[in-house]
Amino acid sequence: MLILKDHLGHLSCTVTGEGPPVVLVHAGIADHRMWDAVAPGLAERHTVIRYDLRGFGESAPPTGPFSETDDLLGLLDHLGHDRVRVVGASWGARVAADFTLTHPDRVHSLALLAPPWRGYDWSAEMVAYDEAETAALAAGDLDGAVRVNLDMWLRGPNRGWEDVAPELAEALREPLRISLTHQEAVGRHSQGGTDRDVATITVPTLVGFGGLDVADFRDIARRYAAEIPGASLAEFPTAAHLVALDAPAELLAALVPFLAR
């Protein structure tokens, strides 16, 4: 594990493999380990960079204003990579999109898995989830907030827990607790992303979504694919929100040829 120290704390990352560099940006309920089933396959052809966003996993929570885009830029500069392929999941996909919009010269290609859309008119289902998480945290019930998130993002609204591998919930539980513990600090100090239109993205782009995900995110994925010129859309029918956990083999089958372009 590489530790990159700065005036706000530190970022942690891991680098494996050799070849054209690809950066994997994790979801907002996870850390770099969410890519464990995908990274080895990519490392056969690429230098695979996985890092924990600030306040997630082994990266320290922020102590002052920061930008996820600046963090990624600083990490790539530190590692000596001028141009990379970027793959992001959920909130990490929004970070990847913002980085591409802000530094298009540093991105070779972009893959977005279940990205959020700023200003989206969320469904009653999503509003109820947010209210349940907020209530649990306000009551000091961290375990309850973890359960709410596992139920929404891992199980999803379209299957039962009997259809989810038990080890996935156990693998997510600790990263989720860390993200929820630092959620307030991250939200208070994050400077947010860019307001640039995703239609200005010009690099090759793949947008993916789980067929069992919340309807909002299935709709949003289609919107990204429609807005970004030349973007491809891929559905992973057996996956909910976290495609890399639910369908790693299918995701690899889609990413390998795309990243080779």
Nearest Cα residue to 242 out of 133, 145, 152, 110: 152
Residues 87, 255 contacting (CB under 8 angstroms):
yes
pTM score, whole prediction = 0.97
- Give the pLDDT mean for 88-97: 98
The architecture in CATH of the region 2-120+186-259 reads 3-Layer(aba) Sandwich (3.40)
Confidence of residue 192 (pLDDT cuts 50, 70, 90): confident
Q: Write down the pLDDT at residue 142.
A: 98
Q: Write down the pLDDT at residue 64.
A: 95
> How far, in Å, CA of 40 to CA of 137, rounded?
36
Nearest Cα residue to 52 out of 69, 28, 76: 28
Q: Got the DSSP string for 134-181?
A: HHHHHTT-HHHHHHHHIIIIII-TTS-GGGS-HHHHHHHHHHHHHHHH
Could you give the residue ranges of the DSSP H alpha helices within the chain?
39-43, 68-79, 91-102, 124-138, 142-149, 166-181, 183-189, 215-227, 243-246, 248-259
Q: Write down the pLDDT at residue 61.
A: 96
**Percent of the chain predicted with pLDDT > 90:** 98
**How many CB atoms are located within 10 Å of the residue 80 CB?**
7
| 208-249 per-position pLDDT tens digit | 999 999 999 999 999 999 999 999 999 999 999 999 999 999
Domain ranges of the chain: 2-120+186-259
What strands, in cross-sheet order, belong to the sheet with 205-210? 2-6, 9-16, 47-51, 21-25, 84-89, 107-113, 205-210, 232-236
